[in-house]
Structure 1
């Protein structure tokens, strides 16, 4: 019985080592960044939404930013979407596009394919923005 236990223990240790939570091994070679990222979508359609409310234009639900916005907001996406339905028209402020509602706002940087969004819930401001971007809050 003992001679069977040693191989079983060795196999258990090997399996435990393989199931570590690390996504990459220490010596893993990753592809170049331009091979990992998809090309950003075409945000030129956002210009056609200027002067229109997000509830009319589909800015929040069905536009070039929708997928990225939903991914970044995660579980807060529905509350944010609902709040932005009360937003005024999308305006141009310099190179930025801005939409504001009483409890939410969105600033878009079409040139940088980046956004900054905010939502006030329960008296607390929650903010999200494109990773690595420096998009300001609305004025």
Structure 2
């Protein structure tokens, strides 16, 4: 029995001994795939006071998969615009981030959001289907 355990430990160590970084295997979520179940949005509150460019709000938080799926081909432009956003702020029960050409309103209790992007003089908006998230105010 002891020999079997030692063999398993040796095999495990050999499999993990490479110099590769796990992060090298990370990929952005597909643009057309929404999450089947909402992620844990409780961590979004910890991002209040931090810019999306610092916190990973747009790129790697619990909203990223659904945001990419809803915005589709505009997700990249939205992500770029939001990198110039000010800190995430509370507005009652909502969380709001504003950039010169984009904004994002999050309703963590309902796992819903509303986003907008200004391009070429027009504003395009997206919202979680079935949700009633207000637009970002003034």
TM range (shorter): 0.7 to 0.9
Distance 2:56 2:69 in 1: 17
**What's 2:41 paired with?**
43
- Residue 60 of structure 1 corresponds to which residue in structure 2? 58
Mapped pair 1:102 → 2:62: no
SS in 2 for 1:39: coil
Distance 1:39 1:80 in 2: 23
Higher relative contact order (CA 8 A, sep 6+): 2
Query: Normalising to structure 2: TM-score of the pair?
Result: 0.73
Name the counterpart of 1:136.
134
Aligned ranges 1:6-45 → 2 under 5 Å:
38-45=36-43
Deviation at 1:52, TM superposition (A): 0.1
Q: For 2:110, which of 109, 112, 128 is the aligned residue?
A: 112
Aligned length: 103
TM-score, length-normalised on structure 1? 0.73
For 1:38 and 1:122, the matched residues in 2 are separated by 34
Structure 2: runs of 5 or more not aligned? 1-34
Which residue does 1:122 correspond to in 2? 120
CA distance in 1, matches of 2:129, 2:119: 23
Which consecutive segments of 4 or more residues in structure 1 shift more than 2 A? Answer: none
Match for residue 71 of structure 1? Answer: 69
> Is there any run of 5+ residues in structure 1 with no aligned partner, and where?
1-36
Distance 2:104 2:37 in 1: 22
